[in-house]
A and B are shown apart, each in its own frame.
Chain A
Amino acid sequence: MTLGDFWFIVVAVLWVGFFILEGFDLGVGMLHSFLGRTDMERRVLINTIGPVWDGNEVWLIVAGAAIFAAFPGWYATMFSALYLAVVLLLIALMVRGLTFEYQRKFDDPRWRTFWRWGMTVASAVIPFLIGLALGDLLHGLPINSQHEYTGGFWNLFTPFGVWMGLTMVVLSLLMGATYLTLKTTGELHARAQRAATGIAAVAVVVSFGFFTWVHVGLSTGFVPEPLEALALMAVIAAAWLTSAKADGWAFVAAAVGIGGTVGSIFTELFPRVMISTTNTAYNLTVGNTASPPYTLKVMTVIAVVMVPVVVIYQAWAYHIFRARLTAPKVGTDDGAGVVAETT
């Protein structure tokens, strides 16, 4: 295995890690508008991810930066090809990131409603666009011999890319709902369980379509990759576990499902990193985009030291905030402004 291959794995692990961690954040972001019926309930739902979402999102930044450092050619082609999609993604990330801090800073129902729906829509747009981008890597985009993208904005919406985007939205919803079953109590908990059961059924259908497409349309092998089989089975297991109300295991199954789905894109891609639909000779590969060995060696040292440290302190963060959240008891159905009286 070359250092380039190793870094391909690192990049894949970072994307998988991003979707496992941010997947439930995004799911909660989408669901909070629907599962929370009062302002107070929505507030509680947002706070289940409050302490950890920012750290989770850094996985995305690091995944992007790792591609930049380890595969500059890949980074250059991918981000310039996806130009307007990345602009949209950035808008969604901005709206979402600001909602946490800004929604409560101003006591006005219109202000709060704006951020509430901003958060909801942005949380759907983000997994869709990233799913679209990852799907496009495997489906292929028009790329010329200079490794430059030759299509326009609408060429990014390849049918497979769109399906992958939808898959990521549904799987993020599944993760969000199962996460909420672990982090809430009472009525919210019951609603999260019902949502998880319904979403899981949809997830099975969407995932089945996704893996059939990957295997029949885009894969060269006859036998499905073990990772793909595992991911599909995990989603099916999640459907069974949610209806059996096994909250913890359902969450684990959803995590394996989303992780396996993202991972399978990379196992199918390797050793390519971005496929050219113009000519297979123009494919971007690990070999023709990787940084020279010295850079990869330096990055390997940093990654080998830092990734475990990061995982440990992020795990500690989850440990500190492991408790379920309960909506404080208030007399009216709108918690805003009433909080003061309860304290």
Chain B
Amino acid sequence: MNLDLARWQFAMTSIYHFLFVPVTMGLAFLVALLETAWYRNGDETYRRLARFFGALLLINVAIGVVTGLIQEFEFGMNWSAYSRLVGNVFGGPLAMEGLVAFFLESTFLGIWIFGWNRLSKKAHLVTIWLVAAGTILSAAFIMAANSWMQHPVGYTMKNGEPQLTNIWALFTNPTFVWAYPHVLLAALVTGSIIMLGVAAWQMHRQRAVEVFRRAAVISLAVLLPSIVLAIFVGSELGVVEEKYQPMKIAAAEALWNSCPSHCPFSAIQIGGGNNDETPTQIINIPWLLSILATNSPNGPVQGLNQLNAQYQKEYGPGNYVPNVFIQYWSMRVMAYLATLIMLFALWGGWLIYRKKLGHAKWFLRIAPWVVILPFLMNTAGWLLTENGRQPWIVQGLMKTANGVSPSVSATDIWISILVFLAIFVALGVADAWMMLRYGRRPLGQDPLAKITSPEDAGSPASGTEFADDDESALVY
């Protein structure tokens, strides 16, 4: 009971946290690009864009930071046995994240917000790049810690406890080497789709079309390579997982019995799950599973039954098969949405190439809706990787069931789940509402230009915003 509750609580808080993390990472990088454009060619348009999208960044940073606080403490709250056993390995990257990355990100974000008129153009540009660097570094440490749970390395067992022996091994861990760029690319995809969606909405309404067209071009220039690379890196990550976590891959295909070579990939299936070993698989794509899992059409893929028998021999009796339904569908949701996003990005690239982006009615109309996709894609990706690790909390080393806090009651966890859920719903509504409001407002006036266009007059959020941000007493 406590195990399930603790897992629900952790899944809820982590999934929620990661709705905002990629937005922050992606937009920080894109805003830094916009400000760099302003710095290099002095065109005020880019400064206006940097501030416009900077506001969207800040709305998400706030939630990303406060939900991250939960993550920092809940290992000790809900998973004290886990923390006690592996803290000397797992806690290291977390503490480093705070010292190296989070201080950097938070301190310079404050300077960036308040520093528009206090710093030189160059110093101010440096602060946003340091913020972006902070988010990227932060992800590195978190992914090193997470990858260690997927494939533990750099330790020896002493008196039945893992002890860290090589910190570098955490950062050369094959799982980390592929999972980290995968997360970075997913963040760039998320951030650029948001920027593209907002720019498209504005262009569709003929608002500052020339300005937002530039934002759309920049976001597509980031989006297109990012999504292509994310798919490639993700498929290589699958090969690494087949090697170290074969159960994860077998469950993602609902492959109950080993397949010697040229294994097909099913596009969809009816039925399936842990009690149904013979689902009806529809549209089998020949060879694809072998290629995805081993990089070769001849590669064998191990089945759930064989792996389970092997694990029982190795680790003792028990069921080592993760939830197959979640694995199968999270893998497909992630991959299919990534493909859709890629096609959409190619469409956008083609429109730019044909110089038609400004009048592409359907593209501009659809783009704001595409913003929903990366969030579903990211969540599915995390479900795939974390659910696929079960029943282990650290693959092969500790089971999730043994990691929970013995002293925490079910009531305590229920209270935390309900309280966090209520807050998350309220924050989610507030965030979505503010993103819509700020994404739809007319582009702010540049205070240096001192021009007010008539269309800005009615909007409470426009016209005054930059003026306020330039006055230290009035930023917040």
Contact = CB atoms under 8 A, between A and B. Distances in A.
A13 B61 CA distance: 28
Given A83-B412, A310-B99, A68 B407 contact: no
A326 interface: yes
Interface string A43-71: 11011001111110110011011101111
A102 B114 contact: no
B83 interface: yes
Contact of B415 (A61, A76, A87, A148): A87
Interface in B343-370: none
B62 A79 contact: no
A103 interface: yes
B92 A69 contact: yes
Interface stretch (B24-32, B214-222, B245-253, B460-468): B460-468
B416 A313 contact: no
A71 B468 CA distance: 46
Contact of A66 (B62, B95, B475): B95
Interface stretch (A214-222, A273-281, A293-301): A293-301
A313 B102 CA distance: 13
Contacts of B312: none
Nearest to A93: B69
A321 to B, nearest CB: 6
A91 B72 contact: no
Interface residues of A, number: 79
A69 B91 contact: yes
Nearest to B113: A51
B286 interface: no
A302 interface: yes
Interface string A299-337: 100110011001001100100110101111000000000
B109 interface: yes
Given A50-B110, A79-B80, A98 B63 contact: yes
Instruction: Classify chain B's interface size.
Output: 35 or more
Interface stretch (B159-167, B297-305, B393-401): B159-167
B448 to A, nearest CB: 12
B315 interface: no
B33 interface: no
Contacts of A302: 95-96, 99-100
Given A57-B106, A62-B99, A146-B406, A72 B167 contact: no
A43 B69 contact: no
A325 to B, nearest CB: 4
A50 B106 CA distance: 12
Given A81-B407, A325-B473, A327-B473, A75 B416 contact: no
B75 interface: yes
Nearest to B84: A76
A105 interface: yes
Interface string A14-35: 0000000000000000000000
A303 B92 CA distance: 11
A292 B167 CA distance: 13
A76 B87 contact: yes
A215 B92 CA distance: 36
Given A55-B103, A62-B102, A343-B464, A101 B59 contact: yes
A101 B95 contact: no
A254 B452 CA distance: 48
11 contacts: A43-B476, A52-B110, A72-B85, A75-B87, A77-B84, A83-B77, A100-B62, A299-B95, A306-B103, A323-B472, A343-B447
Interface of B: 58-59, 61-63, 65-67, 69-70, 72-78, 80-81, 83-92, 94-100, 102-104, 106-111, 113-115, 118-119, 158, 163-165, 167, 405-408, 412, 415-416, 419-420, 423, 427, 430, 434, 437-438, 447, 460-461, 463-464, 467-468, 471-476
Ranked nearest first, the 4 interchain pairs of A and B with the lowest CB-CB distance are A72-B87, A79-B76, A69-B91, A68-B91
Given A68-B76, A78-B76, A101-B476, 16 more contacts: A54-B109, A65-B94, A65-B95, A69-B95, A79-B76, A80-B80, A91-B419, A97-B65, A97-B66, A295-B91, A295-B92, A310-B99, A314-B103, A320-B115, A339-B467, A343-B468
